[in-house]
Amino acid sequence: MKFQVIGSGSKGNLTYIESNNTRLLIDAGISIKEIKNRTNIDITNIDGIFITHEHIDHVKYIENIARLSNAVIYVNEKSFNKMVLKYFKDLNDIKVKFIDPNKPFKIKDIKVMALNLQHDAENCYGYIFTSNSKALGYCTD
Tens digits of residue pLDDT in 7-37: 999 999 999 999 999 999 999 999 999 999 9
80-91 average pLDDT score? 82
Report the alpha-carbon distance of residue 79 to residue 9 in Å, rounded: 19
Q: Please answer whether residues 29 and 60 qualify as being in contact, where contact means their C-beta atoms are separated by less than 8 angstroms.
A: yes
Q: What value does the mean pLDDT take over residues 60-66? A: 94
Distance CA 60, CA 20 (A): 28
pLDDT 10s digits, 92-138: 789 999 999 999 999 999 999 999 887 877 788 999 999 999 999 99
Contact 82, 54 (CB under 8 A): yes
Q: How far apart are CA 62 and CA 88, in angstroms?
A: 10
Of the two residues 67 and 93, the one the predictor is more confident about is 67
Q: Would you state the pLDDT for residue 123?
A: 83
pTM (2 d.p.): 0.94
